[in-house]
Structure 1
Amino acid sequence: MKTVIVGGGLGGLSAAVYLAKEGGDVHLFEKNEHFGGKMMPVDQDGYHFDFGPNTITMPHVFKDVLFQAGLNPNEELPFLSIENHTRNQFSDGTTIDFSSNPDFMKEQLRKIDPTAASHYDEFLEEVEKLYHLSNRYFLNRTFSSWRDYLSPSLARAMRKVRPLQSMDRFFKHYFNHPHMVQALNRYATYIGSSPYASPATFAMIAHLELNEGVYYVKGGNTKIADSFVKAAKKLGVHLHSSTEVEKFNVKSDRISSVKLSTGEFVEADRVIVNGDLLESLPALLTEEERPSLKDKKICSIDPSTSAFVITAGLDTRLNMLNHHHVLFSSNYYEEFRTLRRGQYSFDPTIYISTSSKTDPEVSPRGDNCFILVNAPADQKDNDAPSATTYRDLIYDKLYEAGFPLSSHVKIEQTYTPRDIQYRFRAFHGAIYGPSSNSKLQAFRRPFNQSVDYKNLYFCGGSTHPGGGSPMVVLSGKNVADKILGKLRSIE
């Protein structure tokens, strides 16, 4: 059986490896020069940047892909644990360092939120429960139709994962200090959503970082994509970069073949789309050929946030920077209100990843600052700032906070939501596909199998189980297991 995979992100590579392990004839086509999707290396004049993701959790998910190919995960992916991993800095100068060491966290909380310090273990237990429920009932399965949501066990699990409570309200139950709540609320941005609208279910992200820990791969997180490519090649996957799939050919209720940018037609028994299906399917199928996903339905979907990114190589190392450093806006609620109106915030929260703090060899000449600010995907403001204007605003805000980055920039690139949309074929430039700002979109993402075509499947951040690199890898594995008949039943 021949499987064609459209898109060589982590989800597509994961599916390719799991299918090839079972003897599948797998052909993967990627329109970009690199494999890995948004896990893209940016190398310039001796500076290395991981375009994304910068924060790595659930290393076992990545290791399992390599294990399928008989590779030694510990040799291929030397994960480094960062115990005190994220500095959260606020406009009044207060800092809170997130850590997987509970004693260190409680020591900080005793100074700013003594009641929360006494309940911190209870909080960790609750977010761990949310994760284990999600892992058992949601993360390791596919959804192919509405009937998949009718399982009694799934319904019971749904009631336990706090679907009707917002992340903000959940965190306020355990923490009184507004800075601590604000720092935790940032986890909603990991799914491109607002903490004031997205369900408390996603507070499980706190478990991943504060219980299980944050990791970094020596040499850069893009080594994960490189290792997946190595695993795929070892298992005989046919990998084609710089080769775009332009069109699907339909025969009855199946995709019979795909047309490549070279003009060649490739027949397929099965097709997997690894990419933002809200952007990909309209390019691959006419509206008449996708009756379950008409243009009107696509336009009704609320996209996740996008990003404005600066990669800045400095001529020095700034001691005040941490590997993961967040400078919060003075009014987080208003920042998200602005984003949801489709406008840029002029008091944005700024995230800086400087991997040279952990791994100096990736940037020997100075710090490699990956600077990310949340940006609207569905741009509605005709007076949006130019890339240069917004870059300068970010540097000015950093300077006011005591970070003179602009004085030390040696090399630099900027990326706007439109750049992200074009490079990664992302719906309106949204990083995570549909947002989780409504209960319907949070729990009923696009299915993993087409309603219209029996042999068409989907993996990646726009479908189940959602955004974030571990989830994307799991989506590829789940689709492969679905095809192979290996998905375990959920009781």
Structure 2
Amino acid sequence: MKKIAVIGGGLGGLSAAISLAVQNCEVHVYEKNDHFGGKLMPVTLGTHTFDFGPNTITMPQVFDQVFIDAGENPRDYFEWIPLKTHTRNISSSGEVFDMSTDLDEVVSQLHKLDSYAAQKYPEYLDEVTRLYHLAEKEFFPRTFTSMKDYLSPSLFRAFMKVRPMQNMDSFHKAYFKHPLLLQTFNRYATYIGSSPFHAPATFALIAYLEMIQGVYYVKGGNVKIAESMAQLAEKRGVHLHSGVEVKKIHVKNNHAKTLILSNGDEVEFDAVVMNGDLLEAYPKLVEEHYRPSMTNKKVESYSPSISAFVLLAGLNKRLDKMLHHQVYFSKDYRQEFETLFNGKYPEDPTIYISNSSVTDPSVSPDGDNLFILVNAPPIRNNQQENNVEYERYKNLVYDRLESFGLNIRPHIVQERMITPHDIQRKFGAFRGALYGISANERKNTFLRPSNRTKDINNLFFAGGTTHPGGGSPMVIISGRNVAREVLKQWGSVPTQLS
């Protein structure tokens, strides 16, 4: 029986661990935090409970497949709640557009806002559907372990069909004219931590997921996904070690031989899967001379995605006219992104609020549970934590919400602030980036770090920093893909992973 270590118990690590355990590997997962699921972290403030993230769930079939492959019925573990009309978008002037999988509802709104968009919307849906299915077939299942994987003729043909050279904003202007609609659909770039004025139009495929396939929530909180995956892992014999941090990987003859743990143990494995932000973890755990293809200089050359400034606010009342998700947009979206990627906090930020108690009052029985997120710049090198500045920005966010008529300050009974520095500490995120590497540069979008290091023959990477990218479904796919690559070492790839 092969013995495999997984460093990091996020969704990618759990996905890899379950896939490997089902194939009779002895798997140990080491997680420094006291919970499994990575950023899908539960937070309880009084009677209010929150999911740190993700709050918007798409591609439910990806999560379900983890359980199906393990011979389990996912509905025995958690229940999906589809959100037909899921996100309310509000412009700085107060105009409103609700996103929905109901085509008639969307087109009715478009006729009032933008007659051109109403005419073009079916064509838009056709194109994002094409983009999604091409990516699903040609990009998501691949692992990149050598240069020949990048030079595949079929991959090149697919690459040229997904609008790699057009930016998202340019793409959306072919279908929408109204400023609020452009902001609404351009916001998909933030799902990969990037700017719509630089990120490739490829990622407009997210519209297929939200406007056709649908947005979902898990009864009891999205964190039930992570809890269920951890439960399944243990059922399949995975050894889960919480509160245990891997401090060092010892390498010998281009082979990861042993892990040094925070409890003082030194353990040996046949293969190691590094789950998490490899730009942070790889340099920390492996001495530089063992990784010539990923030097410290190369790590620093990557542009991190945006981070997040988060407020968790438990209220003593229910708010009117809120959906599960809402977005309050800035006046100048282009300027907002320029400010972010110049390392500064926008004074007029776009604000996202998830209020899961709208759908599921049980998670916050005494009032709404507002997860308030503002895009934030990644931490600059050697930037010191400034709690006074963070406090100032918190009040700016509340003031901004008041300008939209949302006065929540008098009703807050529980509050917690989570900053980019907190994200860096808690999740080992490179410069506090929430989504790994920015997709503003084409090479970082389509040539992400390999799923297998070129320098250490039994060390593999899963998570948002590597292929196929950030976002919960993608990291689960990466774990599954990496499990397949690990098993290839011993000439055994099961049908469900091939």
In structure 2, what residue type is equivalent to 1:263?
Answer: G
Distance 2:232 2:464 in 1: 21
Distance 1:115 1:293 in 2: 48
Match of 2:109 in 1: 108
Distance 1:487 1:194 in 2: 39
Structure 2 counterparts to residues 36-185 of structure 1, below 5 A: 36-185=37-186
Cα offset for 1:103?
A: 1.1
Distance 2:128 2:178 in 1: 19
Stretch moving more, 318-327 or 416-425: 318-327
Given the superposition, is the C-alpha separation of residues 382 and 264 from structure 1 closer, same or farther in structure 2, using an over 3 Å criterion? closer
Match of 1:357 in 2: 358
In structure 1, what residue type is equivalent to 2:357?
Answer: S
Contact 1:96 1:108 in 2 (8 A): yes
Contact 1:69 1:232 in 2 (8 A): no
Contact 1:16 1:232 in 2 (8 A): yes
Distance 1:151 1:299 in 2: 28
Match of 1:223 in 2: 224
Match of 2:487 in 1: 484
Match of 1:300 in 2: 301
Cα offset for 1:400?
A: 1.2
Q: Aligned with 1:124: secondary structure?
A: helix
Structure 2 counterparts to residues 84-483 of structure 1, below 5 A: 84-379=85-380, 386-483=389-486
Cα offset for 1:382?
A: 8.0
Contact 1:323 1:353 in 2 (8 A): yes
Deviations 1:184-205 (CA, angstroms, capped at 9, x unpaired): 0100000000000000000000
In structure 2, what residue type is equivalent to 1:274?
Answer: N
Distance 2:92 2:119 in 1: 26
Cα offset for 1:444?
A: 0.6
Distance 1:46 1:86 in 2: 25
Deviations 1:219-238 (CA, angstroms, capped at 9, x unpaired): 00000000100110110000
Distance 1:471 1:257 in 2: 29
Cα offset for 1:70?
A: 2.8
Q: Aligned with 1:458: secondary structure?
A: strand
Instruction: Please give the root-mean-square deviation of Cα atoms over the aligned residues, in Å.
Output: 1.4
Identity %: 53
Deviations 1:322-349 (CA, angstroms, capped at 9, x unpaired): 2101000010000000001011111000
In structure 2, what residue type is equivalent to 1:359?
Answer: D
Cα offset for 1:145?
A: 2.0
TM-score by length of structure 2 reads 0.96
Distance 1:57 1:205 in 2: 9
Q: Aligned with 2:18: secondary structure?
A: helix
Distance 1:64 1:299 in 2: 36
Distance 1:103 1:221 in 2: 29
Deviations 1:94-145 (CA, angstroms, capped at 9, x unpaired): 0000011111111100111112111211110100110011011110111112
Cα offset for 1:379?
A: 3.0
Contact 1:116 1:174 in 2 (8 A): yes
Contact 1:247 1:285 in 2 (8 A): yes
Distance 2:478 2:285 in 1: 21
Contact 1:192 1:435 in 2 (8 A): yes
Distance 2:3 2:478 in 1: 20
Distance 1:309 1:158 in 2: 35
Cα offset for 1:320?
A: 2.8
Unpaired runs of at least 5, structure 2: none
Distance 2:409 2:461 in 1: 42
In structure 1, what residue type is equivalent to 2:284?
Answer: A
Contact 1:106 1:117 in 2 (8 A): yes
Distance 2:205 2:346 in 1: 27
Distance 1:111 1:320 in 2: 20
Unpaired runs of at least 5, structure 1: none
Contact 1:478 1:487 in 2 (8 A): no
Cα offset for 1:487?
A: 8.6
Q: Aligned with 2:211: secondary structure?
A: helix
Contact 1:69 1:234 in 2 (8 A): no
In structure 2, what residue type is equivalent to 1:401?
Answer: F
Match of 1:31 in 2: 32
Distance 1:388 1:199 in 2: 35
Contact 1:66 1:227 in 2 (8 A): no
Cα offset for 1:71?
A: 2.5
Contact 1:305 1:376 in 2 (8 A): yes
Contact 1:141 1:487 in 2 (8 A): no
TM-score by length of structure 1 reads 0.98
